[in-house]
Amino acid sequence: MGGADKGLQNFNGMPLALHTMLRLQPQVGELMINANRNLAAYESFGVPVWPDVLPDFAGPLAGFLTGLERCETPWLVTVPCDTPLFPPDLVARLSAAAQEQDAEIAMASGREEDGELHTQPVFCLLRVELLESLVRFTHDGGRKVDAWTARHRTAIVPFDAAGDDPLAFGNVNTLAQLHQLERR
């Protein structure tokens, strides 16, 4: 996005992060935002905002770690702000799969441009009990979501049923992609 903060870019008249919050809010209890800059702008959305607990913008696992440290429920769900069309039943389906498969993690899987199902590792439901495991993994230098989740019972949840939006997990990385998605 040319150095611009993705979460603050407008999508259908509101910042992507706020759009994400409104889409996620009916699916969960409490919300929080993980952000590393423009904290006051994110705080204006009315939920707690926490920067990464790891230094040097260590990637999605830093956000997972921050969320797990602050979560006050047995489960934490993570979604990125740059994928505004994620399923409105995401959490229910992840939760059902986690329970059915006695999983510690439930991760979405969706179709991508190649027509194949691919895991969507930042769309995750995580047991808060995994905090210690993630602390050890990241302190040992681990940064790959898949490498950490492979250590745990993980349910992969396909979102490819009839009626599922094939673009549900399409993320935007440029303003052009954002505008194209708005026109859809």
Q: Is residue 22 part of a domain?
A: yes
| Domain CATH for 143 | 3.90.550.10
Give the model's pLDDT for residue 173.
84
Residue 112 lies in a domain: yes
Residue 105: name the closest of 150, 143, 144 by CA. Answer: 150
Q: Is residue 92 part of a domain?
A: yes
Q: What is the pLDDT along the chain (184 residues), one digit of tens a residue?
A: 677 899 999 999 999 999 999 999 999 999 999 999 999 999 999 999 999 887 776 789 999 999 999 999 999 999 999 999 999 999 999 999 999 999 999 999 998 777 788 999 999 999 999 999 999 999 999 999 999 999 999 999 999 998 998 889 988 888 888 888 888 7
Domain extent, residue 47, equals 6-183
* Integer Cα distance of 51 and 49 in angstroms: 7
In a domain, residue 1? The reply is no
Determine, yes or no, domain membership for 118: yes
Return the SS3 of 153. coil
Is 34 labeled as ligand-binding?
Answer: yes
* 38 labelled ligand-binding: no
pLDDT at 183: 80
Residue 42, domain member (yes or no) = yes
Structural domains counted in the chain: 1
- pTM of the entire structure? 0.92
82 annotated binding-site participant = yes
In a domain, 68, yes or no: yes
Q: What is the pLDDT at residue 152? A: 97
pLDDT of residue 1: 60
Give the Cα separation of 171 and 76 in Å (integer).
21
Alpha helices in the chain (DSSP H): 16-24, 39-43, 60-70, 90-100, 131-139, 145-149, 175-183
